[in-house]
Amino acid sequence: MNKSIVIIGLLYVFTSPIFSQNPQWIIYNTSNSGLAGDIVLSILIDEYNTKWMGTYFDGLSVFDGINWINYDSNTPGWNGMNRVHQIAKDDFGMVWVRTDYDLIHFDGTTWTTCEGGIGGPCPVLEALAVEGNGTAWVGSVTLMEDGCGLNYTTNGSTWSYYYTFNSGIPDDMVTYIAIDADGNKWLNCNGLTKFTGTNWTNYNTGLPNNYIKSIAFENEYLWIGTQGGGLTQFDGTNWITYNTYNSEMPSNFVTSIAIDVNGTKWIGTEDSGLIAFDGSTFTIFNSNNSGLPNHHIHAIAIDENGSKWLGTNEGVAVFNENGIPVSVDEKFTKACNVKVFPNPVRTELQIEGTMGIHISQVEIIGIWGNSIQNHPVTGNRIRIDVHDLPSGTYFIELKTDHGLIRKKMSKL
């Protein structure tokens, strides 16, 4: 294949995540932020642009752009280990966390460790994916690493199972799960398997190996990252694999994949840093030519501004080739002509729509997505009593004649 490669050389200086101008790289670690641990295995960015980051030793860190909150085995209800392999969120705002041996969920107030089918002879959790309706799909194994099939729960306590003896699943060892926009489950169980909820289809003839580490969806395509086999594109029939032998891929060990709005594939590797692939050119970012602090990338997530959040062995690296925006709130203020003041606030919040903006509804939302207050209003000047709100960070969602506007509020 005739592919080209670009290795980016940048002059960069950074000592902390505070910059006077928009940088391309920002690093968050335990020495300059509230991040609980420097080895970051998983990242979720939710609909409020809040970052949920799972660490290897130190539990879960939540960052709203201003404040950090950390949760671990000392948190009430968190009865599991502190190694957070995966994080997911359903459409009801429930956050699900997979540790080594436990599935834990958080409703915005209470952490609950799931009981029931997970555990017993199959205590080791290998995979997690969560549907919007709140159904959690889990792959688990025994301590002897024997597969325990595909398990799912809708409430965290009652479980159902698919095994080779009661379904069309080809193998009881399920080590990866991804769910596409149509609700199909794509599994790594001795190859690639698609489960529609009724039918099972096994694909393994075109994969370079059966060790799937990541799947990303792009229209009709699956982009599959494997351990030692490189990057594979699959359209349901045809397979194309990019590796160190036939392309400019610097590594065959792909740990994570995310796709941005322009269709660029951002590929994390185990030993060679970050790759951007636009379909023809591979652009490589590593600790020698960029602000990336470490070659080992465990996780990638892309936020609403197009910034890439990378979990590494030396903290979280944030990269935006166009410069990392200083403040989402600043963008909304300029674009939507809405003032929220005072901010931070103690007792009374005032909201004013200028330049002809009319506000019809104001909702105050907690950092975890739970609705705190909801006020139908008229006009463009509103006063809201917030003296009873606990101190912390909240989102203000405003329904206006120019659309929905979201801003952040800090309560003292």
Clarify whether residues 75 and 112 are in a common domain: yes
Clarify whether residues 237 and 266 are in a common domain: yes
Tokens of 109: 């107030």
Nearest-angstrom CA–CA distance, 252 and 225 = 9
* Tens-place pLDDT, residues 279-330: 999 999 999 999 999 999 999 999 999 999 999 999 999 999 988 875 444 4
Looking at this protein, which amino acid is placed at residue 389? L
Residue 120: what pLDDT?
58
Nearest-angstrom CA–CA distance, 97 and 89 = 9
Name the one residue in this structure whose structure tokens are 């660490």.
55
- Domain final residue pick, 319, 339, 371: 319
* Tens-place pLDDT, residues 178-222: 999 999 999 999 899 999 999 999 997 899 999 999 999 999 999
Distance of CA 362 to the CA centre of its chain: 28
Indicate which CATH number applies to the domain containing 305.
2.130.10.10
Cβ atoms within 10 Å, residue 162: 21
**Contact indicator for 194, 170 with CB cutoff of 8 Å:** no
Average pLDDT of the segment spanning 93-122? 84
* Tens-place pLDDT, residues 146-163: 889 999 998 887 889 999
Task: Give the DSSP letter string of 283-322.
Answer: EEE-TTTSS-S-S-EEEEEE-TTSPEEEEETTEEEEE-TT
Clarify whether residues 334 and 298 are in a common domain: no
Range of the domain at 304: 4-319
Indicate which CATH number applies to the domain containing 338.
2.60.40.3080
Clarify whether residues 274 and 190 are in a common domain: yes
Clarify whether residues 26 and 65 are in a common domain: yes
Clarify whether residues 220 and 334 are in a common domain: no
Clarify whether residues 12 and 117 are in a common domain: yes
Clarify whether residues 303 and 370 are in a common domain: no
Clarify whether residues 339 and 393 are in a common domain: yes
* Tens-place pLDDT, residues 46-83: 988 899 999 999 999 999 887 899 999 999 999 889 99
Clarify whether residues 195 and 291 are in a common domain: yes
Clarify whether residues 355 and 231 are in a common domain: no
Number of domains in the chain: 2
Nearest-angstrom CA–CA distance, 48 and 396 = 11
CA within 13 Å, CB half, 283: 12
**Contact indicator for 230, 224 with CB cutoff of 8 Å:** no
Name the pTM for this structure: 0.77
- Domain final residue pick, 297, 319, 341: 319
Nearest-angstrom CA–CA distance, 103 and 42 = 15
Average pLDDT of the segment spanning 218-245? 97
